[in-house]
Structure 1
Amino acid sequence: MPPALKALLAQLIGSAVALLLARNGLVAGLWQIVATQAASAAVAAALLRSARWWLPIHLGFVPLLVAAQSLGLHPAWHLAAFVALVLVYWTSFRTQVPLYLSNRRTAAAVVDLLPAAPARLLDIGAGTGSLLRPLARARPDCQFIGVELAPATWLIGHLLAARQPNIDCQRGDIFARTWQDFDVVYAFLSPVPMAAVWRKAAAELRPGALLVSNSFPVPERDADFVVDVDDRRRTRLYGYRIPPHATP
């Protein structure tokens, strides 16, 4: 079942449980009903085997909606917040890839992985370009291309990189374009698409090219090397060299 459908089903189950208990007098008062709905939705999500990060979303969704209603805000503010979230997260409900931003220490570690000769790096799911800008400053001889699907984050990255000629921020699907012209592909996505990322890298990158994944290893494949970044979140970079006749 798609994650978005699981989330909808969990919320419906939570609402049904809260309504049933309220009608039978087992819960009373607005916040008791809200708490019952939230807890029931979280339990339903767990039983449906949703990813763990869905559980706090279910616990907070309806309580935050009710709390927002008590603020007496104009409906336009709710619409604006919804539009902003859509423009930032776009199809995350389908791809299961949230917005992750690479920090400066991670960028410094990636600089050390670049070839000595001028190279081309592709950042798939580039977000606001937080990795591309320090890389471009450190290696002006290289070309850095970022691909991002969400309109708001792509636009921010595009504007911030406007004065760096060796950065090209493109909006599009990371799997729709070819990767064959790149020496390094960098990914900071989620565990969900990593098998597909490896299949595309193995099929399109030249032998000797490098796939670097921030935090999420390729399933069922040992990394050629691992870099531990000295930052607060203890980032790990998993490096995969494309072998001759790579098997996806």
Structure 2
Amino acid sequence: MPLRPILGAQAAGFVVAGLLLALLEPGPLRQPLPLALVQGAVAATVARGQGAPRWWWAIHAAFVPLVVLASRLPLHPGWWLGAFVALLLVFWRTDRSRVPLYFSNAATADALAQLLPQGACRIVDLGCGHGGLLFRIAAARPEARLVGVEHAPLPWLLARLRAVRHPNVTIRFGDLWQADLSRADVVYAFLSPAPMRRLWAKVVGEMPAQALLVSNSFPVPDVAAWREIAVGDRRQTRLHCYRIPTVD
């Protein structure tokens, strides 16, 4: 989600909370936490009106109330700085990518492995996180070449360190939109609804005809899936599978 609407939603919440602070008589409702809850509710409502993903509603609703609660803890300021840096290293610029940090479970990796072509093939995981899915497939399919792309520093570092034990896995740091998919037989992505149209345009423009895009949970709008797979895990994961069309 772009930064401007995020700030706009938060600002709207502060305006309403400020008006209440000015208009209400002294009492419990003028305390920081109730006002913060109002601010969060307004910000979340505005974010919903902006068409933001649902997970952004929760962030808007909880951000200022959590700041108020955290400010009451007797902690050295250095702890807050450390927490901020840690979150930044884990999530990086989620506001720009519009993709939260998701992890693919073992059941999903096993289901994806069943879709891979026989023999040597090349698989690219766009937004691989700590690489769990790649390493599970790499162990089962040593003849396959697997490439993970991750833009968040800490998950990338963890994946890079783990890749030392898997010679058929390569982990790259960078923007998924800059990844070269021209030699990929299968591209796997667990992103969000927001970038799916753009992702489809990228794979159609770069991947070979009849190659496979597998999207965890999020379908490509207005594109018929070649196949849909119910993984059967606790979160009821569905894999939306698309064949890259032949260009006339």
TM-score range, shorter chain: over 0.9
Measured after TM superposition, the shift of residue 41 of structure 1 is: 2.4
2:146 pairs with 1:147 = no
* Letter aligned with residue 89 of structure 1: F
Post-superposition Cα deviations, 1:163-183, rounded to whole Å, max 9, x if no partner, equal 110000111111213211111
Question: Which residue pairs with 1:123 in the alignment?
Answer: 125
Of stretches 25-34 and 135-144 in structure 1, the one that deviates more from structure 2 is 25-34
Residue number in structure 2 paired with 1:182: 184
Residue 211 of structure 1: aligned partner: 213
* Structure 2 gaps, min length 5: none
Contact 1:211/1:241 (8 A) holds in 2: yes
Within 5 Å, which residues of 2 pair with 1:1-248?
Answer: 3-26=2-25, 27-245=29-247
Q: CA deviation at 1:151?
A: 0.8
Greater alpha carbon shift after TM alignment, 19-28 vs 132-141 = 19-28
CA contact 2:33–2:69 (8 Å) conserved in 1? no
The one-letter code matched in structure 2 to 1:181 is R
For the residue of structure 2 that corresponds to 1:218, the secondary structure is coil
**Please, what TM-score do these two structures have when normalized by structure 1?**
0.93
Offset at residue 210 of structure 1 (A): 0.9
Determine if contact 2:10/2:60 at 8 Å carries over to the other structure. yes
Distance 2:45 2:228 in 1: 37
Q: How far off is 1:54 after superposition?
A: 2.1
Deviations 1:126-164 (A, max 9, x none): 111011001000000111010111111100111122111
Q: Which runs of 5+ in 1 are unaligned?
A: none
Structure 1 Cα separation of the partners of residues 210 and 226 of structure 2: 12
**Structure 1 residues 149 and 220, CA, compared in 2 at 3 Å: closer, same or farther?**
same
Structure 1 outlier segments of 4+, above 6 Å: none
Superposed displacement of residue 43, structure 1: 2.9
Please, what is the CA RMSD of the aligned residues?
1.5
Structure 2 Cα separation of the partners of residues 75 and 60 of structure 1: 21
- The Cα shift of 1:12 comes to 1.5
Instruction: Map Cα deviations across residues 23-46 of structure 1 (whole Å, 9 max, x no partner).
Output: 222542233322332223233333
C-alpha change, 1:121 and 1:7, in structure 2 (3 Å) is same
Q: How many residues align?
A: 245
Would the aligned equivalents of 1:102 and 1:131 in 2 still touch at CA under 8 Å? yes
Question: How far did residue 3 of structure 1 move?
Answer: 3.9
Cα shift readout 1:35-60 (whole Å, capped 9, x = no counterpart):
33222323333343433222222221
Task: Give the TM-score normalised by the residue count of structure 2.
Answer: 0.93
- Give percent identity, aligned residues only: 47
AA partner of residue 165 (structure 1) = P
> What is the deviation of 1:195?
1.1
Query: For the residues of structure 1 that align with 2:57 and 2:9, how far apart are their CA atoms?
Result: 10
Distance in 1 between residues matched to 2:212 and 2:45, nearest whole Å: 42
Query: What SS does structure 2 have at the residue aligned with 1:53?
Result: helix
Contact 2:125/2:147 (<8 A) preserved:
yes
Tell me, in whole angstroms, the C-alpha distance in 2 between the residues paired with 1:99 and 1:109: 21
